A = this chain, B = another copy of it.
Amino acid sequence: MVEGVHFRLQAGWATPAEVGHRALAGALSDLAAMGADPGEVYLVLGLPQGFAHEHAIELVRAAAKLAARAGAEIAGGDVVSAPVLIVSVTAVGWAEREQELIGRGGARPGDLVGVTGQLGAAAAALAVMSGRAGTGAGAGAEQAMRRARHPIPRLREGRALALTGAGAMIDLSDGLASDAEHIGRLSNACVRVELAKLPLASGVAEVAQRLGVPPWQLAACGGEDYELCFCISAERRHAAERAVREAGEVEITWIGEVLEGPAGARFSDERGVTVRVDGFEHRW
């Protein structure tokens, strides 16, 4: 994560602790999407001249706190000088057997498409922080920002879904629009998503209204929500729901199905009309 590209440190954007948390969350989320157990984490800090020592400590402490919570261990790293703040995280994950791990290419026609938790907080927070949602952010904006600043990698849920037989899984780091497209392309199948079914994080509907866009646009096009999107055969629907409920703190929402057809993703709005949902903006 690079200052000015993935985060800003100005007032109202991100604190050093939030940067540390988010950098680690992003790396651990990749392990969650494979159903891997987190292991060693290596943390490299690039610090600009004048960056306060105590801010570096806050950053590392927040990362260490999330690591402990996730069952990972910060095992090494480095500190160097850099023109802007840079946080480079390498997280190593483990599985007993390689077959327990899950990729992005195993979705099959007939599978259901599910997501964990709720979407859109990161995109809503970005809209608020950049001023696009108007001034005087309401309660919804506050909720979205709180969620966006402390994303939780869904490690236990990912492991449970892998063991329950999910065929393909990805974490929503770039946004559902492009992440579902990845699964569809690599599985040579059509991942069909009904946008009206997307579970919205608190505050997302309110921010969408201020922006004058449908709420699903924030939920489908924004990155860094770090929930999981997965495909699993319809017969395992209840087993997946139960496994995720027992493993973690979030629920599954079923948002579509996998069809024969052109490899990729297809999105339909509340009227069933196919719509384009690209236009994702990554820059914080």
By a beta-carbon cutoff of 8 Å, the part of chain A in contact with chain B is 1-2, 4-6, 40, 42, 44, 46, 76, 80-84, 86, 88, 90, 92
Determine whether the beta carbon of A82 is less than 8 Å from that of B2: yes
With a cutoff of 8 Å between Cβ atoms, the chain B residues found around residue A42 in the complex are 42, 90
A84 and B82 alpha carbons, distance in the complex (Å): 9
Q: Which residue of B lies closest to A78 (CB)?
A: B88
Among B76, B81, B83, B92, which residue has its beta carbon within 8 angstroms of that of A83?
Answer: B83
Q: Which residue of B lies closest to A4 (CB)?
A: B83
Closest chain-B Cβ to A118's Cβ sits at a distance in Å of 26
A88 and B44 alpha carbons, distance in the complex (Å): 8
Determine whether the beta carbon of A83 is less than 8 Å from that of B80: no
With a cutoff of 8 Å between Cβ atoms, the chain B residues found around residue A2 in the complex are 46, 80-83, 86
With a cutoff of 8 Å between Cβ atoms, the chain B residues found around residue A81 in the complex are 2, 5
Closest chain-B Cβ to A129's Cβ sits at a distance in Å of 19
Excluding A2-B82, A86-B86, A90-B90, 6 further A-B contacts by CB distance (< 8 Å) are A2-B80, A5-B80, A5-B81, A42-B42, A44-B90, A82-B86
Q: Which residue of B lies closest to A44 (CB)?
A: B88
With a cutoff of 8 Å between Cβ atoms, the chain B residues found around residue A1 in the complex are 80
A80 and B282 alpha carbons, distance in the complex (Å): 11
A6 and B44 alpha carbons, distance in the complex (Å): 15
Q: Which residue of B lies closest to A82 (CB)?
A: B2
Among B6, B40, B46, which residue has its beta carbon within 8 angstroms of that of A80?
Answer: B6
Closest chain-B Cβ to A258's Cβ sits at a distance in Å of 27
A42 and B27 alpha carbons, distance in the complex (Å): 12
With a cutoff of 8 Å between Cβ atoms, the chain B residues found around residue A82 in the complex are 2, 5, 84, 86
A168 and B2 alpha carbons, distance in the complex (Å): 37
Closest chain-B Cβ to A233's Cβ sits at a distance in Å of 29
Interface centre among A6, A40, A83 (most CB of B within 10 A): A83
Among B4, B6, B40, B46, which residue has its beta carbon within 8 angstroms of that of A86?
Answer: B46
